[in-house]
Amino acid sequence: MTTTDLARDAARAGDATLVGVDRAALPGFIRRLDETALLAMAATLHGEGVFPGGVGRTTDQAADLLRVAVRHRWILHRWLAVLTAEGWLRHDAETGRHHLLRPATRADLEAATSALDAARTGLGYPAAMTRFFTATAAHLPQLLRDEVPLQALLFADEDLETAEAAYKDNLVNAYLNAVVAHLLRDAAGRPGRSGPLRVLELGAGVGGTTADVLPVLAGRPVRYRFTDVSRFFLDSARKRFACYDFCEYALFDINADVLDQGVAPGTQDVVLAANVAHNAVDVARLLAGLRELLAPGGTLLLVESCREHYQIATSMQFLMSARPGVPAAGSGDLRAGTGRIFLTRQQWLTQLTAAGLTPLLDLPEAGDPLAALGQHVFAAVR
Summarize as ranges the residues that interact with ligand SAM (CB under 6 A).
Answer: 202-206, 208-209, 228-230, 233, 252-255, 274-276, 279
Give 130's DSSP letter.
Answer: H
Minimum Å gap between C-beta 43 and ligand SAM is: 29
232-249 burial code (b ≥16 CB/10 A, e <16): ebbeebeebbeebebbeb
CB-count burial class (<10 Å; 0-12, 13-18, 19+) for 56: middle
Residue 149: cis peptide before it, omega within 30 degrees of 0: no
In 10 A of CB 26, how many CB atoms? 20
Closer residue to ligand SAM in complex, CB, 197/202: 202
Closer residue to ligand SAM in complex, CB, 104/274: 274
Contacts of 256 (CB under 8 A, 6+ apart): none
Minimum Å gap between C-beta 117 and ligand SAM is: 25
Minimum Å gap between C-beta 208 and ligand SAM is: 2
Closer residue to ligand SAM in complex, CB, 90/345: 345
Query: Comparing C-alpha atoms, which of 256, 298, 306, 310 is closest to residue 278?
Result: 306
Minimum Å gap between C-beta 312 and ligand SAM is: 12
Minimum Å gap between C-beta 11 and ligand SAM is: 20
327, 278 contact by CB (below 8 A): no
Closer residue to ligand SAM in complex, CB, 33/276: 276
Closer residue to ligand SAM in complex, CB, 203/327: 203
| H helix or E strand, kind and range, residue 280 | none
Closer residue to ligand SAM in complex, CB, 57/201: 201
Closer residue to ligand SAM in complex, CB, 230/358: 230
Minimum Å gap between C-beta 165 and ligand SAM is: 14
Closer residue to ligand SAM in complex, CB, 134/279: 279
Minimum Å gap between C-beta 211 and ligand SAM is: 8
Helices (H), the chain: 3-15, 26-47, 59-66, 73-85, 106-120, 127-138, 140-144, 150-154, 161-167, 170-189, 210-217, 231-240, 283-293, 310-313, 345-354
Angstrom distance (rounded) from CA 325 to CA 151:
19
Closer residue to ligand SAM in complex, CB, 202/341: 202
72, 144 contact by CB (below 8 A): yes
Minimum Å gap between C-beta 184 and ligand SAM is: 14
121, 27 contact by CB (below 8 A): no
Minimum Å gap between C-beta 230 and ligand SAM is: 4
Query: Comparing C-alpha atoms, which of 281, 286, 230 is closest to residue 258?
Result: 286
Angstrom distance (rounded) from CA 330 to CA 337:
7
The single-letter code of the amino acid at 147 is E
301, 275 contact by CB (below 8 A): no
